[in-house]
Amino acid sequence: MEYFLQQLINGLTLGAIYGLIAIGYTMVYGIIGMINFAHGEIYMIGAFGALISILLLAVPGGGGSVVLALIVVLVVSMILTALYGWTLERIAYRPLRASPRLAALISAIGMSIALQNYIQLTQGARNKTLQPLIRGGVELMERDDGFTVVLNYMQMGIIATTIVLMTGFSLLISRTTLGRAQRACEQDRTMAALIGINVDRTISLAFVMGAALAAVAGFLVVLYYGVIDFFIGFLAGIKAFTAAVLGGIGSIPGAMLGGLLIGLIEAFWSGYFSIEYKDVAAFAILVLVLIFRPTGLLGQPEVEKV
Amino acid sequence: MASAVRAIAPIDPLGMLKEAAVTAVVSAALLIPFVGFRIVNRGGDQFLDTRFEETAIAVALIFLGRLALILIRGGRFLVPAVGGVAVAAVGVFAPIPTDFLRAVATVGGLVVLARAAFVAFMRSRTDTGARAAGAGVGDMFRRALPWIAAAVIAIAFVLPLTPFAERRFLDVAILVLTYIMLGWGLNIVVGLAGLLDLGYVAFYAVGAYSYALLAAYFDFSFWICLPLAGMFAAFFGIVLGFPVLRLRGDYLAIVTLGFGEMIRVILLNWVSFTKGPDGISGIPRPSFFGLEFKRYPPEGGETFHTFFGLDYSSLHRVIFLYYLILVLALITNFFTRRIRTLPVGRAWEALREDEIACRSLGINPRNTKLSAFAIGAMFGGFAGAFFATRQGFISPESFTFLESAIILAVVVLGGMGSQTGVVLAAVVLIGLPEYIRDLQEYRMLAFGAGMVLIMAWRPRGLLSHRDPTIRLHPAGRGGG
């Protein structure tokens, strides 16, 4: 029971991070119907941006308010990563919008390889570490043999940040003009253009918002695990994509739900079965979902017309 | 349209500068955090180093590059081309303090030059007698293609016997030929059947591991294992292909990617069977009809050089491997060309164009797709067995997603479905970077950027060719 609860907490934390990345996939897929293959790399850029801003602001050494400094770091890395997302769309997607789909996929894969190597070359291939800035936590329960269930402050922070961002983001999509433009473009791009929506800008904004949320995920990972390298984007990207598909690609609540489920499955799988095969578990779920329920949990079925 | 394209736009210096300045500002914002600062580890703690001069020079180069691209767009080629050559030359020959700047200068200069040459070439085709001449050139090229191909093959066969064939050259040639073979194999799945497979490396791995394991456990020779490796890979192709046949496009790509990674993770973790991350070493080398390529013959036996009365040379084995992969690749090509004209090959192409129409014509999509998967996988398996025997050592590290991406890039950049395009793309993508020794580390960066640029400028591939093998009405004459 205690062990179960601990894995549940770990899984929720991990799931929140996957969910944040998954939104980027789902938004881009919803609006242009393509998998943003380089999104995992965008998340990795976000993590490096956050680490560099933390070191730049000398957060670990400097006194003052750590929380305030971290908010500044978060905003800086979100802006930086959003800029990368915007550039990615301009270079790898916009010129190819009228081309065969495969062309855009290849250029996105190329972008992903290029970004990975860019960070490897400029920052070095070795792990980058950060001492934990936020320590401590609440002991929830104690088992007879001394095993305690701990909810870290950091985990609380991750879950709280995610909830706040998700609420804000859902409101943005459902209530504002910008969100309406997004939804209109998802339904019919030509029609949206006819009624005066700037489609190019709306698509760019989908990349920008997805990248900003991925930057939050990267920021949280740097603080939570404290270890990053240039290759983290690949696996995280695939898992987040699995989450988006599991939840129903194109659906924003679905991405969040899928993220949570993938996080929980991974935590329980490594807690109860074997840690080596935890990545296989994620792939297996992806395959099973696509075969048996291609629309995901909350997705709309896609009707193919002749 | 044609005249509008041909016209040289008047220079608008202010607009040009503004556009280039925007690019420079954006790239400065992108580069400063990662190029300007570098995380370094000193005594267990992380610090930041700064490299602002490099960033500034890189941004300046990007500014110039953007100006050059704007000029090319306006129809002026000479100045940008000369500038590109100059910058690239500076990058290669001048003593530049850091590799990063060297890479930016060399690659950037070459990109500008390539762009100028490419656009100029396209314009000249529309200039001289409009489109007819262009089509004429294309037709001539197509008619000459069999002769060119025959000449290239003949050269490829004679090459190892000429003095050019030093060790390094042959190694690169073998590598390029391996990718040509893999590209031709994947072309069956992606180019002909239109199934986007991002996990092709899984079959390559299955082929390599089947040979290595069969040789290790049962002491089978290469020539027995080669067909077996192909069969195992084809079997895996069917097993992995079966569940994913209903999926289309991007979904299929992701699931095949997942399968590819699963195979790698299993190879990595099933230590008792595959030796896990340590890999398998001491894989037997191939023999020439039972004659081995060793310096000293075994007890009572003969080796290749004693049998033919030659002096021993370590080059013999390399040359033999070269011929082996050349023949394997040509078999793949020959097979593909022939099968395209058979009903199953026609069905692949039809399925690629329109699945629903195929169903209504009574083509069984499941069997058709499975056969494409299996045959593509089989050639991947052959190539894998060759890889294992050439290297003598394999580990799961050789079969990452990157490998799949490279093979797919060879197919797509060459022009989907084009056999010639695969050769061209393999030489450009695999062969050229091997010779840019100074910039080894920057190879993959240039590779990724190259994929993006080729797609942006030539979305259908270097040699776009997606015509069905057969038409009811010859092109240009038939109805709609």
- A110 lies within 8 A of chain B by CB: yes
Please name the residues between 12 and 71 in chain A that touch chain B, using a CB distance below 8 Å. 34-35, 45, 48-49, 51-53, 55-56
Categorize the per-residue pLDDT at B440 as very low, low, confident or very high, splitting at 50, 70 and 90. low
Count how many pairs of residues, chain A against chain B, have C-beta atoms within 8 Å: 173
| Chain B residues in contact with A92 (beta carbon < 8 A) | 452, 455-456
Asked if residue B438 has pLDDT above 50, the reply is yes
CB contact under 8 A, B258 and A51: no
- Whether A234 sits inside 8 A of B249 (CB atoms) is no
Contact check, Cβ <8 Å, A83/B413: no
Chain A residues close to B265, C-beta within 8 Å: 276-277, 279-280
Task: Name every chain A residue with its beta carbon within 8 A of the beta carbon of B192.
Answer: none
Give the residue-averaged pLDDT of B127-151. 66
CA distances from A224 to A219, A230, B226 (A): 9, 17, 49
Which segment of A209-223, B184-198, B214-228, B453-467 scores lowest on mean pLDDT? B453-467
The answer to whether A259 touches A243, Cβ cutoff 8 Å, is yes
* pLDDT value of residue B118: 80
Residue B191's closest chain A neighbor by CA?
A: A102
Chain B residue closest in CA terms to A237: B254
Query: Using one digit for the tens of pLDDT, what is the confidence trace for A2-35?
Result: 788 888 998 999 999 999 999 999 888 888 888 8
Top residue of B32, B451, B454 to mutate, by most chain A CBs within 10 Å, is B451
Give the burial string for B83-101 (b: 16+ CB within 10 Å, else e): bbeebbebbbeeebeeebb
The string of pLDDT tens digits covering residues B395-422 is 888 888 888 888 988 888 887 777 888 8
Minimal Cβ distance to A114: which of B47, B412, B448: B448
Say what the ipTM of the complex is.
0.83
Q: Is B476's pLDDT higher than 80?
A: no
CB spacing of B48 vs A279 below 8 angstroms: no
Nearest CA in chain B to A118: B445
